[in-house]
Amino acid sequence: MPLTPPAEPDPEPKMNWASFYAVISGVNRHSTGIGRIWLSVLFIFRILVLVVAAESVWGDEKSGFTCNTQQPGCNSVCYDHFFPISHIRLWALQLILVSTPALLVAMHVAHRRHVDKRIYKLSGRTNPKDLEQIKSQKMKITGALWWTYVISLLFRVIFEVTFMYLFYMIYPGYKMIRLVKCDSYPCPNTVDCFVSRPTEKTVFTVFMLAVSGVCILLNIAEVVFLVGKVCSKHLHDAGDTSMGAWIQQKLRLL
Amino acid sequence: CLYLRTEWALSSGQGGSSVHTNAGRGPSPASSPPFSFSVSRARRVNPCSGRRSGSCCPSVRMSWPALYAQLVGANRHSTSLGKIWLSVLFVFRVMVLMVAAETVWGDEQSDFVCNTLQPGCENVCYDQFFPVSHIRLWCLQLVFVAAPTLLVSMYVAYRNHGDKKKLLENSSRTGFLSSRSPEEELEALKRRRLPITGPLWWTYFISVVAKLLIEVGFMYALHVVYDGFRMPRLVQCDQWPCPNLVDCFISRPTEKTIFTVFMATASSICMVLNGAELAYLVTKAITRSLCRKKDGTLTSREKTWRGTNERSPGSLRCCN
């Protein structure tokens, strides 16, 4: 059995995010243009930054957390009191949960393809080329798929906002402080505890927050775009009715 | 280092396997694909970085993408609920385990601190309160839960093998009967999706029951070993060689509690999906047998055609 030297510090998390990317990017084909931009922003500015930079900043968060006492256990207890859950884990959970609604859309597309295949077969067309074409054609975002897509977008926004709120609750002001004072048992009295790399952590927290805000805006823009598309389609179809013509006339005057 | 770093690779690309234990070397002959198992001595991994002690880092690392590749192949013959179950398993359990939980538990032994200088006391107390780490329990749970699906893919492979032999015998005996060449027929055989009827139904049913029992078993084991899903901050220990009752402090207890609850919730969702899948399979079987009674006048040729060509027998279609 060959003993291979470690190639790089930890390739496993990158590999796992890479396989996650492979799963999620399959949905990309059925997204709108804004949806594809959102996916790129997610992977470049959030997952990549998390894996390449943020994880090494938070790598020594516990070992570098030092309290001004020799009392065994005081360090652990104070760390646990001020950091119930680390930023890195919260961001990883946020990214996983925010990407999950896209899988809903993928399942709906797969279901629709399955139904289309059955219809083809029942109508007698069993040419393998036709069936392959069904697999590769891009689905139009209409009907029930439109509703699934919009619901998935709304869920994304809800998850993002929830996590931003959680961050705010656990780490007020999104700022990482240099010094915390702790008096939990077994610390003998109020001891000073020092956080490692507070400024760097604040910079990354603000960056990830800003990108999260951009993603929320992109999702809202996508919802508005989809709703606008449907409304304009309806107006166009209703153009020959008197109401539709009246609305179109008013819109032209604006 | 007290622990071994174990690498499991469930892919046929891996070569032979050999097993080295801490006590001595005992290489075993290469196992047949798709399973191969190799154990290497401990080496530094990322959770060790920045640690004061600088000791070796024990961890069990799975080649999860290889397992995913195996299971996705079996996924084609699953029901829709089975496919949802697989997505929940990989996104909410395997991903979270690999990306987040392993780093939280990375320093569980090195940062387990007891209020004493007595050598050996920390080791003994850690061993008493953590007989099996959460991470290892979850890894084992995920591996065991994924195993019954491989049963289904083995059965499908066996069936395809039998059909392939029949096809080759027929084409060699009687020449070309259909418009397609034997290669195309074989390809179609490989790509076809078998309907979940007959022995495949029983295999699938047993695999889902096994998954459910394994999930329940592991949840119960976790609850019993750790007395609930909560991780306390402080434990008191008086095992020899600790001089008297000492306080021992666990590292990151709140974060560990959060992840334990999260994984327990994901496990419960999977159990609910398995239960729903069982109910669906049983309902489908009952409606199919009712339809069969009504269609009792079908000729045997029509029955055979229906048995091999039905994509997904609708619940009441055959009764129309």
How many pairs of residues across A and B have Cβ atoms under 8 Å apart? 131
pLDDT at A175 over 60: yes
B292 touches chain A (CB under 8 A): no
Least confident of A55-59, A227-231, A244-248: A244-248
B261 touches chain A (CB under 8 A): no
B74 touches chain A (CB under 8 A): no
Identify whether A152 is part of a domain: yes
Percent above pLDDT 90 for chain A: 33
Mean pLDDT, rounded, for B140-155: 88
Q: If 0-12 CB within 10 Å is exposed, 13-18 middle and 19+ buried, where does residue B248 land?
A: buried
Identify whether A194 is part of a domain: no
pLDDT at B308 over 90: no
Q: Do A19 and B64 touch (CB under 8 A)?
A: yes
Name residues 33-62 of chain A within 8 A of B (Cβ): 55-56, 59-60, 62
Identify whether A58 is part of a domain: yes
The pLDDT value given to residue B38: 35
Mean pLDDT, rounded, for A146-157: 92
Q: Do B107 and A63 touch (CB under 8 A)?
A: yes
Q: Do B113 and A100 touch (CB under 8 A)?
A: no
Which domains can be identified in chain B, with CATH numbers?
82-174+184-295 (1.20.1440.80)
Given the DSSP bridges, would you call strands A66-67 and B60-62 parallel, antiparallel or unpaired? unpaired
Averaged confidence pLDDT in chain A: 83
Q: Do B95 and A96 touch (CB under 8 A)?
A: yes
What is the spatial distance between Cα B107 and Cα A64, in angstroms, rounded to a whole number? 13
CATH number at residue A150: 1.20.1440.80
**Averaging pLDDT over each range in A39-43, A116-120, A127-131, A234-238, which range is the top one?**
A39-43
Name residues 32-61 of chain B within 8 A of A (Cβ): 38, 40-41, 43-47, 49-52, 61
The shortest C-alpha distance from A86 to chain B (Å) reads: 8
pLDDT at A15 over 90: no
Q: Do A16 and B311 touch (CB under 8 A)?
A: no
Percent above pLDDT 70 for chain B: 68
Report the residue count for chain A.
Answer: 254
Higher confidence at residue B303 or residue A212?
A212
Chain A's closest residue to B81, CA to CA, is A107
Cβ-Cβ contacts under 8 Å, A104 against chain B:
none
Question: What is the token pair recorded at B21?
Answer: 């234990």
Identify whether A42 is part of a domain: yes
Cβ-Cβ contacts under 8 Å, A15 against chain B:
65
The shortest C-alpha distance from B267 to chain A (Å) reads: 16
Residue pair B37/B60 in contact by the 8 Å Cβ criterion: no
Cis amide prior to B148 (ω within 30 degrees): no
Question: What is the token pair recorded at B138?
Answer: 């979850």
Cβ-Cβ contacts under 8 Å, A107 against chain B:
83-84, 87
Identify whether A207 is part of a domain: yes
What is the spatial distance between Cα A17 and Cα B287, in angstroms, rounded to a whole number? 43
Identify whether A244 is part of a domain: no
The domain tally of chain A equals 1
ipTM given for this complex: 0.77
Mean pLDDT, rounded, for A112-119: 82
Q: Do A89 and B255 touch (CB under 8 A)?
A: yes
For residue B2, what pLDDT band results from cuts at 50, 70 and 90? very low
pLDDT digits (tens, 9 = 90+) for B203-229: 999 999 999 999 999 999 999 988 888
Higher confidence at residue B216 or residue B3?
B216
Q: Do A76 and B249 touch (CB under 8 A)?
A: yes
For residue B34, what pLDDT band results from cuts at 50, 70 and 90? very low
Q: Do B46 and A85 touch (CB under 8 A)?
A: no
pLDDT digits (tens, 9 = 90+) for B245-290: 999 999 999 999 999 999 999 999 999 999 999 999 999 899 988 8
Q: Do A73 and B111 touch (CB under 8 A)?
A: no
Q: If 0-12 CB within 10 Å is exposed, 13-18 middle and 19+ buried, where does residue B46 land?
A: buried
Range of A164's domain? 34-63+87-135+142-179+202-231
Give which of B46, B142, B265 to mutate to test A binding, by max A Cβ within 10 Å: B46
Question: What is the token pair recorded at A13?
Answer: 């998390």
Strands ordered across the beta sheet of A191-194: A66-67, A191-194, A179-182
Identify whether A101 is part of a domain: yes
Cβ-Cβ contacts under 8 Å, A71 against chain B:
115
SS3 at position A56 = helix
For residue B165, what pLDDT band results from cuts at 50, 70 and 90? confident
What is the spatial distance between Cα B122 and Cα B90, in angstroms, rounded to a whole number? 36
The pLDDT value given to residue B44: 40
Identify whether A166 is part of a domain: yes
Cis amide prior to B241 (ω within 30 degrees): yes
The pLDDT value given to residue A25: 76
A13 touches chain B (CB under 8 A): yes
Return the H-helix or E-strand segment holding A132: helix A128-136
A178 touches chain B (CB under 8 A): no
